[in-house]
Chain A
Amino acid sequence: MDANTDVSNRELTISRTFNAPRPLVFKAWTQPEHMARWWGCNDTQKIHVESDLRVGGSLRAEMTLKDGTLHVVIGTYLEIDEPDRLSFTWDWESGGLGTETVVTITLEDAGEQTKMTMVHRLFDTREMRDLHGEGWTVSMERLEAFLSEKAAG
């Protein structure tokens, strides 16, 4: 099976080791003034970031490219565990792709350096997360029912 047909694991994983302490790398990922200094591709000319760093808080990055076009990424923080782990949704405001993707970053000490692993998953749509939510709700209901039975017995 070649890369084009193996659909079981379609996600992007990139690992990098940075010559910086873990708390600093985490800050670079989470503080708007830091993010604005490095987010974007080589064609990004200007970037403005707004970030409400709390679970459920929103993230917005407006990137202006050299050709003058504006591209806006919007997201929601799912997990914030400073300085180990960060997860947020990622979607383009202009729409079209119809898929809400999820970015998860984990940081580990590597001596004086920090090893970062970023996974950008393309299947974690809002629909799928809602389904997971339903799953948990059902489990909690069953647990409650089980506990009531125990209490009654």
Chain B
Amino acid sequence: MNQDALSDTFAALADPTRRQILSRLAGGEMTVKELAEPFPISMPAVSRHLKVLEKAGLIKRGRDAQWRPCRLNAAPLKEADDWIGRYREFWTQSFDRLDDYLQQIQKGNDDGRQH
């Protein structure tokens, strides 16, 4: 996945309603009406969220003109998780270094007090 696609994924995920929609779709296919039920927002508002999710490739929609059921497409999420994994690696390696560094400077201070 290129970085622009990852951008789309994160932009799509940067909204609690859209994240909730995706979580619900993880349980299986749903129609727009079913998806809209728990949200205190209008059907057109839900449709707009679905468009963003579809553009980011996070959901796929059926061809049935009337119902167009939505289902989760998890592949971009996997890419996003990989990205988080890279951050985890970055910070874990940094903190290993921080651990060593904190010992070094304290050792320096202790020596200073002893002499």
Contact = CB atoms under 8 A, between A and B. Distances in A.
Are these two chains actual partners, yes or no?
A: yes
Interface residues of A, number: 35
B84 A122 contact: yes
Interface string B1-26: 00110110011011100011011001
Given A37-B97, A38-B97, A41-B89, A7 B7 contact: no
A96 interface: yes
A28 B3 contact: no
Interface string A121-146: 01101011000000000000000000
Contact of A28 (B27, B89, B101): B101
Nearest to A92: B3
B37 interface: no
Q: SS class of chain B's interface: helix, strand, loop or mixed?
A: helix
B105 interface: yes
B88 A12 contact: yes
Q: SS class of chain A's interface: helix, strand, loop or mixed?
A: loop
A14 B88 contact: yes
Contact of A24 (B3, B6, B90, B106): B106
Contact of A16 (B15, B95, B105): B95
Given A4-B74, A99-B7, A18 B26 contact: no
Given A28-B98, A96-B7, A120 B91 contact: yes
Contacts of A128: 14-15
A7 B13 contact: yes
Nearest to B90: A41
B92 interface: yes
Given A7-B23, A8-B20, A28-B98, A98 B7 contact: yes
A83 B91 CA distance: 20
Contacts of A38: 94-95, 97-98, 100-101
A49 interface: no
14 contacts: A12-B88, A16-B99, A19-B106, A20-B106, A25-B102, A34-B105, A38-B94, A38-B98, A40-B94, A97-B10, A98-B11, A99-B10, A122-B80, A123-B10
Sort A-B residue pairs by CB-CB distance and give the 7 closest, nearest first.
Answer: A98-B7, A96-B3, A5-B26, A38-B97, A20-B102, A38-B98, A99-B10
